[in-house]
Structure 1
Amino acid sequence: MLTRDIPISVLDLAPIVVGGTAADSFRNTLDLARHAEQWGYHRYWLAEHHNMPGIASSATSLVIGYVASGTQKIRVGSGGIMLPNHAPLVIAEQFGTLESMYPGRIDLGLGRAPGSDQPAARALRRGLGSDGNDFPELLSELRAYLDNTPEARPVGVRAIPGEGLSIPIWLLGSSGFSAQLAGHLGLPFAFASHFAPDYLLPALDLYRSSFRPSESLDKPYAMIGLNIIAADTDEEARMLATSQEQQFLNLIRGRTGPLNPPVDSMDALWNLQEEAHIRKQLSYTITGNKATVQKKLQQVLQDTGADEIIVSAQIYEHEARLRSYQYLAELVKAGDHA
């Protein structure tokens, strides 16, 4: 059992699997969200990705609404919306609409990366040429639309719905840029250690050291992303994890596609350099039975001091994915009663 209570949340990439469709993916997403709510997960986030045949959540706001409509109390939000892809007014209106429909349950997590490859980024931005450096200005504009004071809003433009609504804003990142910005603004921060682990500890230190209390938070609040794949045995969990490893292998080879079924061994699929690269990229991945997961998760929490964890589980079979999240919830609940 864990030595301290910690909220756990779900990061769902809405995987489209080999032999499946986006429609299947959405049904599985809602089913997982309903189970996660029953198991005590705190929030359920979906991520914006484009031009990726294995991820169905490109229209992120629509999928958030779909999940919120089919659940009762779990917080639902974005992990994240890639703000440079959008006009801030549109995001203010979309999330104002969601918050009006599902009050007190919507989170707005924001990133500054495109969430896509360069051709898709050009298609989304229509030649605006943003490299993410204008993210603070876009964020300031978005927050102004949501502000309830007339003097803070852009002249002549109002976000209806959106204006005056209390929608928690999170900054997401995999470097020091968003960590420091979140600290300066007094916002909660989520680090993408589930695929970009190298800068995790320095980013957390930077966030905490630069934090200034705000109306949103009086002290730092950091969430970290983990890949956790739990099963009845360590061997089964390692096999299930090969679907995720194949996905990352295809990405570094410049190929994308649906999530592949697991294999007994990756040895015939990657070379030594590719294996080393992927092992490093997925170093914040925990696989195993409940005892193994508990031991490794406890070490991560000690190393990072995270206030919350958000868990991705790219598992091919939906039932195995459900079991993985259920086992993690049971593990954390056992710690709650320690």
Structure 2
Amino acid sequence: MKRLSDIKISALDLVPVRADKGPAHSLRNSLDLAQHLEKFGYNRFWVAEHHNMDGIASSATSVLLGYLAGGTSTIRVGSGGVMLPNHAPLVIAEQFGTLESLYPGRIDLGLGRAPGSDQMTARALRRERSGSADDFPDDVLELMSYLGPRTPEQKVIAVPGTGTHVPIWLLGSSLFSAQLAGMYGLPYAFASHFAPRYMHEAIRVYRNHFKPSDVLDKPYVMLGVPLVAADTDEQADYLATSVYQRILNLMRGQSLVQQPPVETMEGRWLPHEKAAVADFLGLAMIGSPQKIRAKLDVLLEQTQADELIFTCDLYEHADRLHSYELLAQLAQG
């Protein structure tokens, strides 16, 4: 049976923007977090493409990855993910081929098929392109061809990009990408940090459809997990109220800038909203190290995941660093 000490742990940073700070502060914190996690022994550090959200500062994902990779030396950095319908595959191949050329062996390219924004923003991003999630399977193959070796008949090449073999991951919160990742023989990351309901089914579909490839000879599953670790359960519950407020505002279509923790959420949400936030955070690890260890042991026993990638959107940067440090101590036994 797998335990936390048997697997790799990683981090997905949503580069949260505080209510009293701006994006520049968030971006500097992201690099500081990556540098600390490198020392703590984390495997990879990913950021996600989101647009038109005032509380998330990672919209220019490949630019941010260059900043993060340049400020670290060993930890893998990557996208969790790039929303491929927003981009021409050649552009992404050139961007990540450039990153891989500058920081060889450290770049990951996680791909999603959602726009990472609302439809109005998606149109503003694409302008004349008719990008669609329906094109995703073909776009992934096109992107893989740009990053692989050049073939004699290939007329369009990515420079940098060709022959870099940047590792591609498929990300998803439903069953579509799970099946596609299996068919293409690619590693799969499930977005259980916000959509845990279909996690077990997605893992089953991925493993059942998996075909060995030049990339993998067997399935590789990574799961997203929300994290709020503190010295005591009571402190973790208090810090988690910042996360609850952020998700509640997301559901209400309100500002996503981070809010400080509060003593209680009573009076701040309606019963159905409380239930919806709880469903969103169904896989959340909130508590002391002892409590989190027990929950993670159950998760790994049930899923046999190969890697866990944790999100931790706490208001104070110091609390976030401490949360990840406590987890690293657990992972090291």
Q: Partner of 2:106 in structure 1? A: 105
Q: Partner of 1:195 in structure 2? A: 194
**Match of 2:133, SS?**
coil
Aligned pairs (5 A) from 1:8-157: 8-126=9-127, 128-151=129-152, 153=154, 155=155, 157=156
CA distance in 1, matches of 2:115, 2:255: 16
What is the aligned residue count?
Answer: 332
Larger mean CA deviation between 119-128 and 220-229 belongs to: 119-128
Task: Tell me the CA shift for residue 128 of structure 1.
Answer: 4.0
Task: Tell me the CA shift for residue 276 of structure 1.
Answer: 0.6
Aligned CA RMSD, in angstroms, stands at: 1.3
Larger mean CA deviation between 248-257 and 220-229 belongs to: 248-257
CA contact (8 A) 1:196 1:281 kept: yes
CA distance in 2, matches of 1:249, 1:293: 24
**Match of 1:89, SS?**
helix
Task: Give TM-score, length-normalised by structure 1.
Answer: 0.96
Task: Tell me the CA shift for residue 238 of structure 1.
Answer: 1.0
CA distance in 2, matches of 1:112, 1:174: 10
Q: Partner of 1:303 in structure 2? A: 302
Instruction: Go from structure 1 to structure 2 and tell me whether the alpha carbon gap of 1:185 and 1:253 turns closer, same or farther (over 3 Å shift).
Output: same
Q: Partner of 1:212 in structure 2? A: 211
Larger mean CA deviation between 269-278 and 255-264 belongs to: 255-264
Q: Partner of 2:274 in structure 1? A: 275
Task: Tell me the CA shift for residue 254 of structure 1.
Answer: 1.2
Q: Partner of 1:181 in structure 2? A: 180
CA contact (8 A) 1:144 1:152 kept: no
Larger mean CA deviation between 80-89 and 136-145 belongs to: 136-145
CA distance in 2, matches of 1:271, 1:110: 35
CA contact (8 A) 2:150 2:157 kept: no
Instruction: Go from structure 1 to structure 2 and tell me whether the alpha carbon gap of 1:266 and 1:152 turns closer, same or farther (over 3 Å shift).
Output: farther
Which sections of structure 1, spanning at least 5 residues, go unmatched? none
Structure 1 stretches of at least 4 aligned residues deviating more than 6 Å after TM superposition:
none
Task: Give TM-score, length-normalised by structure 2.
Answer: 0.97
Instruction: Go from structure 1 to structure 2 and tell me whether the alpha carbon gap of 1:274 and 1:3 turns closer, same or farther (over 3 Å shift).
Output: closer
The percentage of aligned residue pairs carrying the same residue is: 56
Q: Partner of 2:324 in structure 1? A: 325
